[in-house]
Amino acid sequence: MTITIDGTRTARAVRARVAAEVARLTAAGTVPGLATILVGDDPASAVYVAAQRRAVREAGMRDLHRHLPADTPQRQVAAVVDGFAADPAASGILLQLPLPPHLSAADLIDRIPVAKDVDGLTTGSAGLLARGARGLRPCTPIGIVKLLDAEGVAIRGAHVAVVGWGGLVGRPLAQLLLHRGATVTVAHEHTADLGAVTRPADVVVAATGVRGLIGPEHVKPGATVVDVGIHRTPEGLRGDARTDELGGVAGRITPVPGGVGPMTTAMLLANTLRAAERNPRPDAVPA
C-alpha cells in the first residue's frame, strides 16, 4: 500500500498558524506585507503570482504588487525593487521568475535586501544557507522538509537522493537536508546510472523538469518519493514521477497536484511573516 502524502492539508495547517500570528502582529501595529513584482505576460507566472497574492490577502497580510511591461528596461525594474526595499510596508519582496531575456535576473535578485528575501534566492541568502547561519530559505525546499516532518518521515541519518540540481529546488534542498543530518546524493543530467544512485535511498526527490522520469526502477520498495515536477498535459497536471507505476512500490508519494505545490505557497507566507517579525515597522507599538 502506497500512502499519498496530503500536501494540501499540511499547507492549510501552516497557513492557519501564519494567519493567527499575522493577526497578533497586526494588533501590535505591524501588518506584514508581501510585494510581488511581475514583468511581462508569461501565463504560468501570472497564474502563480495571482495565487500567491490571493493567499497573502487570505492570511491577512498586505498585498503589494507591481506589474511591469515585458520591455521594461533593467534600471526601471531595479528602481521598483529598490522602492520596495525601502518601503517599510513591504516585509518581503518576490521578483517572479523567469524574467524577460533582456533583463539580468541575478543582478535584480541581488538588489533585494537579505532581510526581505522571502524567496531565499539572493547571493546573501544562499551564503547564509551554505554556512548554516540564520536566514530566509527558498520556499519549495523548506516546504518539502516541512512536509516530510509532518508525515513523520525521518531525515536525520536517512539517505536522500535529490534528483535535479537547479537553483530553485535541488541545490538549496540538498543543503537543508544535510543541515538536518541526512546523507545526501545529488544526481542530475550528467549522472550515468540514475537508478544505481537512487535505489539505495530512503527518500527520492524528483526536481528535474522531466515528466515521468522517476519510476519503479529508481525506487527502493517502501521509500518515500517527493515529486516536485509540474507538467501541464491533456490529462491534467503530471509530475516528474510515474505515480501509477510507483503504487505498491513507494511507501509514500506526494501527488501532483496537491503535494509539494501547496507547501510552496504556505512557506512563502511563513517566510513573509518571519521577515515582518524581524523587521517590525518603525511605528509599531506593543499591543
Residues contributing to the annotated binding site for NADP(+): 164-166, 230
Q: Report in angstroms how near the CB of residue 49 gets to a copy of itself at its nearest.
A: 23
CA atoms of 237 and 119, how far apart (whole Å): 24
Question: Which one of the spans 17-25, 77-85, 178-186, 278-286 is the region binding a copy of itself (CB under 8 A)?
Answer: 178-186
Residue 30 vs 175, nearer CB to a copy of itself: 175
Residues 6+ apart with CB under 8 A from 165: 171, 174, 186, 188
Rule CB under 8 A: is residue 97 a binding residue for a copy of itself?
no
CA atoms of 103 and 73, how far apart (whole Å): 7
Residues 6+ apart with CB under 8 A from 252: 2, 3, 4, 5, 151, 153, 224, 225
Q: Helix, strand or coil for residue 279?
A: coil
* Alpha-helical runs (H) found in 87-231: 105-109, 123-131, 139-151, 170-179, 194-198
Rule CB under 8 A: is residue 278 a binding residue for a copy of itself?
no
Residue 87 vs 110, nearer CB to a copy of itself: 110
Residue 89 vs 106, nearer CB to a copy of itself: 106
Question: Which one of the spans 46-54, 187-195, 212-220, 245-253 is the region binding a copy of itself (CB under 8 A)?
Answer: 187-195
Rule CB under 8 A: is residue 105 a binding residue for a copy of itself?
no
Determine whether 287 is exposed, middle or buried from the number of CB atoms within 10 Å of its CB (0-12, 13-18, 19+).
exposed
Q: Of 141-170, which residues contact a copy of itself (CB under 8 A)?
A: 156-157, 159, 165, 167
Q: Of 106-125, which residues contact a copy of itself (CB under 8 A)?
A: 106, 122-125
**Interacting residues with a copy of itself (CB under 8 A):** 106, 122-133, 156-157, 159, 165, 167, 171-172, 174-175, 178, 181-188, 190-192, 196-197, 200
